[in-house]
Amino acid sequence: MAFGKGCHLHLIDGSAFIFRAYHALPPLTRKSDGLPIGAVSGFCNMLQKYVEGNAGGDVTHIAVIFDKGSHTFRNDMYDQYKANREAMPEDLRPQIPLTRQATEAFNIACKELEGYEADDMIATLACQAREAGGRVTIISSDKDLMQLVGDGVEMLDAMKNKRIDRDGVFEKFGVWPDRVVDVQALAGDSVDNVPGAPGIGIKTAALLINEYGTLEDLLDRAEEIKQPKRRQTLLDNRAQIELSKKLVQLDCETPLDFTLDDLEVKEPDPETLLSFLTEMEFRTLTKRIADALDVEPPVIPDTTPEGANPPENAAEAPPFESSAYECVRDMAALNRWIEKARTHGWVAVDTETTGLNEMRVDLVGISLCVEAGEACYIPLIHKEAGGDDLFGSDALAEGQMGVNEVLDALRPLLEDPAVMKIGQNMKYDAKILARHGVKIAPIDDTMLMSYAMNAGLHGHGMDALSERYLNHAPIPIKTLLGTGKSQKTFDLVPIDEATKYAAEDADITLRLWQIFKPQLHKARVTRVYERLERPLVPVLAEMEMAGIKVARDTLSRMSNAFSQKMAGLEAEIHELSGETFNVGSPKQLGEILFDKMGLEGGKKGKTGAYATGADVLEDLATEHELPRRVLDWRQLSKLKSTYTDALQEHINPETGRVHTSYVISGAATGRLASTDPNLQNIPVRSEEGRRIREAFVAEEGKVLVSLDYSQIELRILAHMADIDALKQAFRDGQDIHAMTASEMFNVPLDEMTPEVRRQAKAINFGVIYGISGFGLARNLRIPRAEAQGFIDRYFERFPGIRTYMDQTIAFAREHDRVETMFGRVIHTPEINAKGPRAGFAKRAAINAPIQGTAADIIRRAMIRMPDAIAGLPAKMLLQVHDELLFEVDKDAAEPLIDAARKVMENAADPVVHLDVPLVVDAGQGANWAEAH
DNA sequence: TGATTCACG
DNA sequence: GACGTACGTGAATCAG
């Protein structure tokens, strides 16, 4: 395309980029040979960020312009020009040619000219582009370039992401761009050693220029200046000022050996770019760019933990031999293991504790493994064998080192960035260790590796993985602890037994890691694992340890109120049924309703019991009073048993807070699951239930802040299925359900009734779930034919939805899996099954990419959140699928909302560009009910 | 231990 | 033509 009207040229000041990169970054060196590459790395990062930021923009032409040589025509005019510049730092010099290579690798034109400064080339190009009728953006913050601004030329400070237009220039110089040189000529520039007029700065210069029009007029009429000192300075220094103007005046006539047309934007060649980055050994950037280009990142050979790769021959691992495990009882032995871990660069770690509640249990021992079959156990607080149960003997068994002693010795290893720590469900161990002041990092997690590769195929617990991938059934914990009431804790297990069990766990973990690590690439889920799974571990560990304050007395009051109401309802129910029975027993209730009272519509399930679910009772409620009472009773029973009662037992006596646990690999779609207690299903839909949220409170002087994505799954559907009408509605900020209703039923928006809107809303949700006429009919309580009619109409109006569904199912049928927009893989093993199971699988396959993409987005937000709110007195406490809950000092609530909202709304960038905006709603209050 | 029910997104 | 039918979770409870 020839450059002309409608074109947009971006000119990057390469030298400025390099210096900024150099000063912004610590002195990094290339691992393999120590070559300094900090500036190159920063340069590439900035370039990448810049390219990403402009993806989909209107840039048509681009070039990075470099200075070349130190002698320019300005030195001929004035030998002191830029004379007092500091020499280029030694470690920057070799990086200069590399930044040129980098630019070329990005397939961006890279230009320089002997004897000219980059500024002159930029000026020339800008002038040419302007004359051709195009627009220009100069990426630089160099004030010397500001004289070019105007008539379609703008500057952009890439670091501050601030555009500088004519007004911006005026702000800086006090004159419009065409007089900037005059001001600079007067004011001079100490950095470039431009002399100017002594004693006159930018302020005074602007004042004078504005009064006299131009520099030339000013100098000619210098006699008229009222202030004697100023007048004299100008008269005395006329020659110097005129020279200064020549020095700062950019040359728009630079002889270029290329034209604007040569600068047309070109897509980078993935291979060229990635091979350059690989050569530089930029791991993070290589992955990021591979992501952006949607190719699997190349493997960078490495000796550091990030890429610590197990031996290729892991399959030839020795058989399990529990008697070979070592029990570490003294410092000398421990140090030998630490040394082994260091020489390998990795170590599998497993902690044994007195229970499963990470916030309360004690650390009993630690096992380590460095090679298959080579593992040890470090017992810490095992109790004396044969201890008197009656008196609960507390005596420690012989031959154990102290907990602090051992952790002090292990801490440098566990925190060493050069040693990879491998675990199965590392969040657990990380929390235990964090309670002892050890911040374990970096980590790999075999559970998460399995999850990234095999979600939907099987579970990811260690026992299942060991049997499946190592063909080895681990020692069941039951054989050590027993079961039921007589179950004991791990500290009561004899040390020799514990050694076999614990060391085996570390051994298994290491072997799994050796198998999984190389598989990640082949399964094309490396970036899912490294960017969506692993980084979540420390974030969730922090949230879980922070916990949320729960007001026990509030819950307990509610509990009592519920009890009373339930007793009343129970009496009425017994009265109505004519006998006393267990209202909580669906079986008894079914018999009362359908056998004794003879109500219609009794259906027996596969166990032969009548169904008495809420939907059944709801239907019966029109016939009889009893079902309504049972529904009310059940609601209260649920609230009391699951929430007001159970929640109190989860309040940690030490912290006064409730600490949930998130299961990263819980849901196949990428969603988190919350357990012990589940804080993702605290009531909100019913008025009565919502009040339970009043018991979730902020600490004194703080507030709870809730931010939630508005309609995130529908937005993702609109994008993925590419439905223009829906996308436009979201862009316009319309009520999406009303808009759907309007489209479907031909009702103008201003005549929309709540009932019609409600129906459209049900359909919108139904679509996400893989709708059926039957299901919609049941949900809306309308005849099935009518529901089917709605669905047909919906697909007629939004045919893209049908296409999306068909394509998704076809993909699943072919590959036995579906994927989210971020590359998360969800296996659909039943998609080709026969019978009703195929229906389930189909609907799950339709839903998974949508639900999963939403899950990926909030994960990305959570991973970025700690940095984004680092300066605020705030903590992220809970995640509820599309909501994040924070606790923050009262006066910092607004800044927190601003910061967190920004992260959430931009969480898809830069890997995925959504055609619809993500919108986040926020609220705050003393408790969760108020904040939501 | 499995089925049922119901809380959430 | 029949069959079964909205996606993803966790916890409490009953009953065998």
pLDDT band at A291 (very low <50, low <70, confident <90, very high): confident
Residue A749 approaches strand B within 7 Å at CB: no
Question: Has residue A614 got a pLDDT over 50?
Answer: yes
Coil, strand or helix at A396: strand
Contact, A383 vs A371, CB < 8 A?
no
Q: Read off the pLDDT band of A307 (50, 70, 90).
A: very low
Q: Which of A432, A914, A423, A468 is nearest to A717 (CA)?
A: A914
Strand A346-353 with A420-423, pairing: parallel
Are A278 and A297 spatial neighbours (Cβ–Cβ below 8 Å)?
A: no
**CB of A839 within 7 Å of some strand C atom:** yes
- Packing angle of the helix pair A426-435, A536-546 (nearest 10 deg): 50
Distance CA A306, CA A338 (A): 19
Between CA A643 and CA A771, with CA A674 as vertex, the angle to 5 degrees is 95
- Per-residue confidence band for A841, with pLDDT thresholds at 50, 70 and 90: very high
- Closest by CA to A640, choosing from A563, A550, A552, is A563
Measure CA to C1' and name the residue nearest C11: A642
Strand locations in A142-247, DSSP E?
Answer: 153-157, 162-164
Q: What is the CATH number of domain A549-668?
A: 1.20.1060.10
**Is strand C less than 7 A from the beta carbon of A666?**
yes
Instruction: Give the CA-to-C1' distance from A608 to C16 in angstroms.
Output: 13
CA–C1' nearest nucleotide, residue A780? C6
Q: Read off the pLDDT of each residue in A160-168 and give the average, rounded to a whole number.
A: 84
| Length, in residues, of chain A | 932
Whether nucleic acid strand B comes within 7 Å of the CB of A583, the answer is no
**Of A301 and A821, which is predicted with more confidence?**
A821
Please give the average per-residue pLDDT across A212-241, as a whole number.
88
Provide the 3-class DSSP secondary structure of residue A245.
helix
Label residue A884 by pLDDT band (50, 70, 90): very high
Distance CA A71, CA A114 (A): 8
CB atoms < 10 A from the CB of A265, how many?
19
Distance, in Å, from the CA atom of A147 to the CA atom of A758, rounded to the nearest integer, reads: 59
**Among candidate residues A591, A397, A423, A429, the one with its CA nearest the CA of residue A507:** A423
**DSSP of A317-386, one letter per residue?**
PPPP-GGGPEEP-SHHHHHHHHHHHHHHTEEEEEEEESSS-TTTPPEEEEEEEEETTEEEEEE-SPBPTT
Predicted pLDDT at A871: 95
Those nucleotides of strand B lying less than 7 Å from any protein Cβ are: 3-9
Looking at residue A609, its pLDDT comes to 85
Residue nearest to nucleotide C12 (CA to C1'): A642
Q: Which nucleotides of C are covered by protein (CB under 7 A)?
A: 3-16
Judged by average pLDDT, the poorest of A70-74, A495-499, A744-748, A805-809 is A70-74
Strand C contact with A671 (CB < 7 A): yes
Q: Which residue has the tokens 């760019």?
A: A289
Q: What are phi and psi of A588, to 5 degrees?
A: -65, -40
Q: Which DSSP symbol is given to A595? A: I
C8 nearest neighbour residue (CA to C1'): A667
The reply to whether A646 Cβ lies less than 7 angstroms from strand C is yes
For A613-627, b/e burial (b = at least 16 CB within 10 A) is: eeebbeebeeeeebb
Q: How confident is the model at residue A654 (pLDDT cuts 50, 70, 90)?
A: very high
A881 touches strand B (CB under 7 A): yes
Nearest nucleotide, CA A587 to C1': C14
In this predicted model, what pLDDT tens digit does every residue of A91-150 receive, in sequence order?
A: 788 888 899 999 999 999 999 988 888 999 999 999 999 999 999 999 988 888 999 998
**A714 CA to B9 C1', in Å?**
13
Nearest residue to A289 via CA among A308, A307, A269? A269
Asked if strand C contacts A336 at the CB level, meaning under 7 A, the answer is: no
Give the residue carrying structure tokens 């309504």. Answer: A628
Between CA A821 and C1' C3 the distance (Å) reads 34
Q: How confident is the model at residue A184 (pLDDT cuts 50, 70, 90)?
A: very high
**A713-851: in CATH 3.40.50.720:** no
Query: What is the distance between the alpha carbons of residues A106 and A118, in angstroms, rounded to a whole number?
Result: 20
CA triple A16-A20-A26, angle to 5 deg: 150
Q: For A8-263, CATH number? A: 3.40.50.1010
Strand B contacted by A644 CB (< 7 A): no
pLDDT at position A601, please?
74
- Asked whether residue A768, judged by its CB, lies under 7 Å from any atom of the DNA or RNA strand B, the reply is no
Could you tell me which residues come within 8 angstroms of residue A680 by beta carbon, excluding any fewer than 6 positions away? A672, A673, A674, A878, A879, A880, A881
Nucleic acid strand C within 7 Å of A682 CB: no
HSE-up (13 A, CA, CB side) for residue A678: 10
Q: What is the pTM of this model?
A: 0.70
Residue A830 (CA) to nucleotide C13 (C1'), in angstroms, measures 31
Q: Å from A839 (CA) to C3 (C1')? A: 11
Nearest alpha-carbon partner for A347 in A418, A265, A450: A418
Name residues 840-869 of chain A with a Cβ under 7 Å from nucleic strand C: 840, 843-844, 847-848, 851
- Domain coordinates in residue numbering, chain A: 8-263, 322-534, 549-668, 713-851
pLDDT value for A114: 86
- What are the residue ranges of helices labelled H in A783-912? 784-797, 799-815, 836-868, 893-905
Instruction: Answer for the pair A405, A339: CB distance below 8 angstroms, yes or no.
Output: no
Residue A647: per-residue pLDDT: 95
Residue A31 reports pLDDT greater than 80 = no
Q: How confident is the model at residue A54 (pLDDT cuts 50, 70, 90)?
A: confident
Which of A901, A819, A903, A813 shows the shortest CA–CA distance to A864? A903
Token code pair at residue A719:
């994008």
On average, the pLDDT of chain A sits at 91
**Is strand C less than 7 A from the beta carbon of A641?**
yes
CA pair distance A302, A31, nearest whole angstrom: 8
Q: What is the pLDDT of residue A834?
A: 82
pLDDT confidence of residue A860: 96
β strands within A522-630, DSSP E: 548-550
At residue A90 the predicted structure's pLDDT band, cuts being 50, 70 and 90, is confident
Helix (H) or strand (E) holding A758: helix A754-769
Task: Please tell me whether any atom of strand B lies within 7 Å of the Cβ of A687.
Answer: no
Instruction: Please list, residue by residue across A314-325, b when 16 or more beta carbons sit within 10 angstroms of its beta carbon and e when fewer do.
Output: beebeebeeeeb
Residue type, A924: Q
Q: What pLDDT, on the 0 to 100 scale, is given for residue A435?
A: 96
Helices and strands of chain A, counted as H and E runs: 38, 23
**Predicted confidence band of residue A192 (pLDDT cuts 50, 70, 90):** confident
Nearest residue: Cα versus C1' of C4: A836
Q: Which of A617, A624, A637, A620 is nearest to A566 (CA)?
A: A637
Closest residue by Cα to residue A533 from A667, A694, A436: A667
Cα separation, A535 vs A866, whole angstroms = 11
Q: Return the percentage of chain A with pLDDT > 90, whole number.
A: 66
Backbone angles phi, psi at A489, to 5 degrees: -100, 165
Taking the C-alpha atoms of residue A826 and residue A451, their distance in angstroms, rounded to an integer, is 9
Q: What is the CATH number of domain A322-534?
A: 3.30.420.10
Protein chain A, residues 730-769, with a C-beta closer than 7 Å to any atom of nucleic acid strand C: 762-763, 765-767, 769
Q: Where does residue A181 rank: exposed (0-12), middle (13-18), buried (19+ CB within 10 A)?
A: buried
Look up residue A715 and give its amino acid.
Answer: R
Q: Is the CB of A607 under 7 A from strand B?
A: yes
Measuring from the CA of residue A666 to each C1' atom, give the nucleotide at the shortest distance. Answer: C9
* The pLDDT of residue A53 is above 80: no
Provide, in whole angstroms, the distance separating residue A663's CA from nucleotide C14's C1'. Answer: 28
Q: What is the pLDDT of residue A228?
A: 84
Residue nearest to nucleotide C2 (CA to C1'): A835
Q: Give per-residue pLDDT as tens, A441-477.
A: 999 999 999 999 999 999 999 999 999 999 999 999 9
Using the structure, give the distance in angstroms from the CA atom of A794 to the C1' atom of C1, rounded to a whole number. Answer: 27
Tokens for A328, please give them.
Answer: 């570490």
Span A659-669, average pLDDT:
95
A193, pLDDT greater than 60: yes
Nearest-5° Cα angle at A38, A192 to A870: 100
Spatial separation of the C-alpha atoms in residues A470 and A560, rounded to whole Å: 53
Q: A570: Cβ–Cβ under 8 A, 6 or more apart, which residues? A: A583, A633
Strand A363-371 to A346-353 pairing: antiparallel
- Cα A126 from chain centroid? 39
Angstrom distance (rounded) from CA A877 to CA A545: 9
Amino acid at A405: E
| Rounded Cα gap, residues A764 and A471, in angstroms | 46
- β-sheet bridge partners, residue A353: A363
A772 touches strand C (CB under 7 A): yes
pLDDT at A7: 92
| Closest C-alpha among A382, A402, A404 to residue A394 | A382
In angstroms, the CA of A611 and the C1' of B4 are apart by 8
Q: Among residues A119, A113, A109, which one has the least CA distance to residue A139?
A: A119
A383-391 long-range contacts, Cβ below 8 Å, gap at least 24?
A383/A491, A383/A492, A385/A494, A387/A492
Q: Is the distance from CB of A452 to CB of A521 less than 8 angstroms?
A: no
Measured from Cα to the C1' atom, the residue closest to C9 is A673
Q: What is the CA A729 to C1' C5 distance in angstroms?
A: 31
Q: Are A626 and A574 in contact (CB under 8 A)?
A: no
In eight-state DSSP terms, residue A705 is: E
